[in-house]
Amino acid sequence: MVLCSDKRGTVLFKILLLLTFVLVLTSRELNAQENYFYTGKDYGSESLFNPITLMINGGYDVAQLQNMTNRIGDFEYGRMLHVVLKNLGDPFNSIRHYGSKKFFTTEFFPASFKRDDLEWIPNYQQHLLGGGMLFTSMKEWYTMHGYPYPWLLSAVTLMTHHMLNEVIESGPNEGWSVDEISDIYVFDLGGIILFSFDPINEFFSKKLILRDWSLQATVTLPNGRINAGQYFMMKWPLPFAENTSLFYRCGMGALFGLSNKVNETDSFSYGVGFKTKHLVDLNTEVRERTIESSWHAGVFYDRNNSLLASVVMSGVKEYFCSIDVYPGIIKFDKFSPGLWTIISRNGEAAFGITTRYVFSIGYDFDKL
């Protein structure tokens, strides 16, 4: 029975990929030659964007939580993949165990603003909008680097990235779950389809500005710990203030604030909000979770919406202070590395060096 579920999950996922390719293929002729989100900048967060960093930042995003390991070798990948495929292979049974009404009111519709019923928020902002924007960004990356069929490679990369995210997030608990069903079958696929059309890309690149401001993906020594996190930034220019925008940063938590232009290219953004601390299981029969969070505040410096530096503070012990300096600020002739450090409340620290050539190294002290 378990094997049968795994096989059904694998077959359904292949069908999903095929459907994605067909839908994107039928709409790709609508796409113009303009690059909306990835333009080949050699500075800031955009300079570090590539298929590998996308996989690490998105796949291991949940490793930032306190009750999750952040060592790449600690995950039970086979067992966790089985859990995801079981639920994807038998979605209607998963929904029945979870409750159909509850499935639609917590995963799709803003029927409740209680903390335990807010799964629809990350579904829309991270999976539909963020994932869709990443599809276009990745397609533009493949195009700029001369790969054939960039739309196809982007779709494969994004769906693989989403599957890794679901596997890491699922954990070894073998209970029924609807999270991967709504994420993969609806919002992840929906984001790819939605951002296959120029008017959508135009709106989110120029009107309501949406960008990838993920961390500087690194696996540190000596224990293989992961510095990773997928974050998205939104700016909405205020119609009555030429150089000021509303600012929003979402990912593992959310920050709300303002962004101010200091010249034609550079901006400083300020935000306060909450950071997700850990997940709390609410049900032992099905995977139903809520979050516990702490305070969160940050200052961000970007150039042409590519993040150059940030200082983020939080009440989460392991992430008391995070400092990121992306490539483009520190320069040695033509070589410009990025630097990051994380300091815990106990004074433990980790740091790393990143480059836009993928090679990134880090080191962590003690038990951060």
CA atoms within 13 A on the CB side of 36: 28
* Average pLDDT value over all residues in the chain: 86
CA–CA distance, 268 with 243 (Å, rounded to integer): 11
Task: Please report which confidence band the pLDDT of residue 130 belongs to, taking 50, 70 and 90 as the band edges.
Answer: very high
Greater confidence (226 vs 283) lies with: 226
Residue-wise pLDDT tens digits, 184-218: 999 999 999 999 999 999 999 999 999 999 999 99
Q: Is 171 helix (H, G, I), strand (E, B) or coil?
A: coil
Distance in angstroms (rounded) separating the CA atoms of residues 232 and 248: 8
Q: Which long-range contacts (CB under 8 A, 24 or more apart) does 357-360 make?
A: 358/50, 358/52, 358/53, 360/216, 360/217, 360/218, 360/219
| Cα gap 63→169, rounded to integer Å | 8
pLDDT score at 274? 93
Instruction: Tell me how far apart the terminal alpha carbons of the chain are, to the nearest angstrom.
Output: 41
Q: Is the pLDDT of residue 287 over 90?
A: no
What would the pLDDT profile of 91-110 be if each residue is shown by its tens digit?
Answer: 888 888 888 888 888 888 77
Residue 282 has what pLDDT? 73
Nearest C-alpha neighbor of 337 from the set 319, 300, 362, 302: 362
CB 303 within 8 A of CB 265: yes
Measured in whole angstroms, the distance separating CA 81 from the mean position of its chain's CA atoms is 19
> Is residue 223's pLDDT more than 60?
yes
CA Rg value for the chain: 20
